[in-house]
Chain A
Amino acid sequence: MTDVAATAVEATERELLSFRVGGQEYCVDIMSVREIRGWTRPTPVPGSPHWVRGVINLRGTVLPIVDLARRLGISAEDASDRNVIIVVHLGQQTVGLLVDAVSDILSIAENDMRPPPDIASREGETFIKALTVVEERMLRVLELASLLPDTGREAA
Chain B
Amino acid sequence: MTTPDPMAEIRASFFVECEELMEALQDGLTMLDGGDADDETVNICFRAVHSMKGGAGAFGLDDLVRFSHRYETVLDEVRAGRLEPGHDVVLLFMRAADILSDIVHYSRDGLPVDPDKVEPTLRELEALISDEAEEEEAEVTDFQPMTLALPFGGPPADRVVRIRFAPEPDLFTSGNEPVHLLRALAALGEMQITPDLSEVPTLDALDPEAACLAWEIVLTTNRDRAEIEETFEFVEGLCKLSICEEQSGLSLPCLPGLPPLAMPPAPDAGVSPSAEVRPRLTLTAPPDCSDPEEGTPPPDTAKTHAPQPAPATPIAVESPVATAARPATTPPKATVRVDLDRIERLVNLVGELVINQAMLSQSVAQAGLPTNSPVVQGLEDFMQLTRDIQDSVMMIRAQPVKSLFQRLARIVRDTSAAVGKPVRFVTRGEATEVDKTVIERLADPLTHMIRNAVDHGLERPEARLAAGKPSEGCITLSAAHRSGRVVIEVMDDGGGIDRPRVQAIAEERGLIDPGQAMTDAEIDALLFMPGFSTVKQVSNLSGRGVGMDVVRKSIQDLGGRVSISSSPGKGTCFSISLPLTLAVLDGMVVDVAGEALVVPIGAIAETMAYREQDIRSVGPRTRVLHIRDSFVPLLDLGVELGFRPAKESNAGSVVLLVANEGETLGALIVDAIHEQRQVVIKGLQQGYGNAPGIAAATILGDGQVALILDPVDMMAKAGTRPGQTQPALAPTG
Contacts and interface: CB of A to CB of B under 8 A. Distances in A.
A45 B691 contact: yes
Given A42-B732, A53-B732, A60-B351, A47 B690 contact: yes
Contact of A45 (B352, B689, B699, B730): B689
A141 B596 CA distance: 38
Contacts of B684: 45, 55, 62, 64
Given A60-B351, A62-B683, A62-B699, A44 B688 contact: no
A25 to B, nearest CB: 25
B691 A46 contact: yes
Interface string B673-708: 000000000111111111110100101000111110
B729 A44 contact: yes
A6 to B, nearest CB: 17
A84 interface: no
Contacts, number: 98
A95 B478 CA distance: 45
A3 to B, nearest CB: 15
B705 A149 contact: no
A61 B596 CA distance: 17
Given A52-B688, A59-B352, A79 B682 contact: no
B641 interface: yes
Contact of B699 (A57, A93, A149): A57
A43 B733 CA distance: 10
Interface residues of A, number: 31
A133 B689 CA distance: 37
Contacts of B689: 45-49, 52
Interface in A67-85: 76, 78-79
Nearest to B696: A62
Contacts of B726: 46-47
Which residue of A57, A151, A155 has the most chain B CB atoms within 10 A of its CB atom? A57
B646 to A, nearest CB: 15
A55 B688 contact: yes
Given A45-B688, A154-B686, A54 B697 contact: no
B690 A57 contact: no
A123 interface: no
A151 B694 CA distance: 18
A130 interface: no
Contacts of A95: 685
Nearest to B640: A46
B523 to A, nearest CB: 39
A95 B685 CA distance: 9
A148 B686 CA distance: 11
Question: What is the predominant secondary structure among interface residues of chain B facing chain A?
Answer: loop
A41 interface: yes
Interface in B283-309: none
A118 interface: no
Contacts of A149: 686-688
A54 B694 CA distance: 13
A71 to B, nearest CB: 12
B595 A44 contact: yes
Contacts of A48: 688-689, 691
Interface in B346-373: 348-349, 351-352, 355-356
Contacts of B422: none
B705 A57 contact: yes
Interface in A22-58: 41-49, 52-57
A10 interface: no
B732 A54 contact: yes
A64 to B, nearest CB: 4
A46 B639 CA distance: 10
Contacts of B686: 149, 151, 154-155
A150 B348 CA distance: 25
A146 B279 CA distance: 68
A45 B683 CA distance: 13
B631 interface: no
A47 B729 CA distance: 9
A64 B641 CA distance: 18
Contacts of B352: 59-60
Contacts of B642: 46-47
B705 A150 contact: no
Interface in B637-675: 641-643
B732 A45 contact: no
Nearest to A93: B685
Interface in B506-522: none
Contacts of B348: 60
Given A55-B705, A59-B352, A46 B687 contact: no
Given A46-B641, A151-B686, A155-B686, 14 more contacts: A44-B732, A45-B689, A45-B707, A46-B691, A46-B694, A52-B689, A55-B684, A55-B697, A57-B704, A62-B697, A64-B684, A93-B685, A148-B687, A154-B686
Interface of A: 41-49, 52-57, 59-62, 64, 76, 78-79, 93, 95, 148-151, 154-155
15 contacts: A41-B704, A44-B643, A45-B691, A47-B642, A47-B691, A48-B689, A52-B689, A57-B355, A57-B703, A60-B349, A60-B351, A60-B355, A60-B682, A61-B682, A149-B688
